[in-house]
Amino acid sequence: MRHHPLPILILLSTVLCAAAPASAAGTVDVTKAGVVGDGATLNTAALQQAIDACSAQGGGTLTFPTGRYLTGTIQLKDNVTLNLDADAVLLGSPNAADYRNVDPFTDGSGNTMGYALIVADGAKHVGVIGAGTVDGQGRLVRAGQTPFKIRPFLMRWLRCTDVTVKDVHLTNPGAWTLNFFQTHGATVEHVTIRTRTTGLANNDGIDLDSCENVHVKDCDIDSGDDALCVKATSPLPSRDITASGCILSTKCNAIKFGTESLGDFENVSVTGCQLRNVGMSGIALNSVDGAHLQHVTIADITMDGVAVPISIRLGSRLKVFRAGDTPKPTGVIRDVTIRNVQAKGVRLIGFLVNGVPGHPVENITFENVSIVVPGGGTAADAEVKLQEKESAYPEYSMFGKVMPASGLYLRHVRGATFTNVHASVLKPDERPALALVDVEGLNPPDFSLKATAAPPPADAVK
């Protein structure tokens, strides 16, 4: 790999950006500012100088024409947007030494995280747009490390205001793909994420962490880890968030709240999404580190191929993720509405709702929900007692592979309403459709379970 010297042409970016900040007239072709798109020249310093100069003169747009632009960590500054043409690829360096960790933290599994290819910290009016690609080359970054400790996110937006990520194709991160932390005001629209086949762990699609006023629209995500994840690794809340019109596929959870849940979750809605080929839960709502998760609506969701369509967990892990943060007592999950959901291809059970002793899930509403569950359970399965596992990492799989009910399992719940909720079972099942443990305030459930003929094998269809 050869390193390109810093050219005098960098000064051109200052002149052009000064002409008309954040407008078409303030657009700079990065190749005119000394950045080389040959896939081999390391452009980190040249790109950073162009970003800094443009921001210092009031801002503008740095455009990337056709080419492959190799770089380590670059940090966006106020009023600077990167615009990738359709055949432009921003390539992550395979050398771990080329990445910086602006704000280290510990994730829910205890790993040190925070390195990133593109990062912004406290920046205003920034973004990445265009039909091009950001490719982190995560497998090459891993190949140069034993063990794999420096795992760069593709994009990381820290404490920013007014962020736009639009139209770009994101692939091959070292860890999470698109991460927002304590950011106020962001739009993620028409973004395609492909991380499922990289063979790497922790490659979530979109992570919204202690953020406010964020809107995710019409994104297409196929990820190796959770696809759309709302979390809070800090005491600040995640609130006033919407996601709509997305296609989600993943080896793990499609829609997940609370892998880390120190801060609260309030006024969050996910609507109009298609979930396909999901390895774990379709909808997973968790508070295990003290969060108050409330006023959450999930609506108009279709699922095809999922282990558990709906999993809700209030637990008592009670972790913190940054030095100086104080552990909180067990939180609450209340005032959750899940409506207009259709799920088929279910592999385990329809609903799995668990609080812990003394801390029930409260006031949940299920409306217009139709699920097709596998059935096949035995009388012995019906006698299985699920362990509490109050402090475990939150996943449906923590409770094992055998459920004591075929359709719904509720434990430690105060107030649950079922309206037009139906389950169809594919195979005869000796378990009850609905299992209740320490449940109070169950409105007369409008819930039914019926047998349905299993579809014929694909090779039998003429």
Beta strands in 288-349 (DSSP E): 292-306, 308-314, 332-346
Please return the burial class of 456, using the count of CB atoms within 10 Å of its CB with bins 0-12, 13-18 and 19+: exposed
Tokens of 322: 């940054």
Strand partners, 127: 81, 164
Interatomic CA distance for residues 292 and 411, integer angstroms: 19
Could you give the 3-state DSSP secondary structure of residue 247?
strand
Domain locations in the chain?
A: 60-460
* 143 DSSP 8-state letter: H
Q: Tell me which residue has tokens 């809340």.
A: 237
Closest by CA to 335, choosing from 396, 408, 417, 397, is 417
* Structural fold of domain 60-460: Pectate Lyase C-like (2.160.20)
Within 274-341, residue ranges assigned H as helices are: none
Please return the burial class of 119, using the count of CB atoms within 10 Å of its CB with bins 0-12, 13-18 and 19+: buried
Residue 138 burial (CB count, 10 A): 27
pTM comes to 0.92
Give the sign of the dihedral formed by CA 263, CA 266, CA 270, CA 276.
positive
Please give the pLDDT value at position 305.
98
Per-residue pLDDT tens listing for the chain (462 residues): 444 444 333 344 443 443 333 333 389 999 999 999 999 999 999 999 999 999 999 999 999 999 999 999 999 999 999 999 999 999 999 999 999 999 998 887 788 889 999 999 999 999 999 999 999 999 999 999 999 999 999 999 999 999 999 999 999 999 999 999 999 999 999 999 999 999 898 999 999 999 999 999 999 999 999 999 999 999 999 999 999 999 999 999 999 999 999 999 999 999 999 999 999 999 999 999 999 999 999 999 999 999 999 999 999 999 999 999 999 999 999 999 999 999 999 999 999 999 999 999 999 999 999 999 999 999 999 999 999 999 999 999 999 999 999 999 999 999 999 999 999 999 999 999 999 999 999 886 667 777 654 444 444 333
Task: With residue 446 as reference, give the H or E element that holds it.
Answer: none
Please give the pLDDT value at position 112.
84
Please give the pLDDT value at position 24.
38
Question: Nearest-5° angle of CA 350, CA 355, CA 360?
Answer: 120
Interatomic CA distance for residues 309 and 335, integer angstroms: 19
Closest by CA to 423, choosing from 451, 445, 396, is 451
Residue 104 Cα distances to 72, 107, 202, angstroms: 17, 10, 16
Interatomic CA distance for residues 90 and 19, integer angstroms: 26
The set of residues, in sequence order, having a beta carbon less than 8 Å from that of 455 and lying 6+ positions away, is: none
Strand partners, 278: 250
Please give the pLDDT value at position 444.
64
Strand partners, 409: 352, 435
Task: With residue 108 as reference, give the H or E element that holds it.
Answer: none
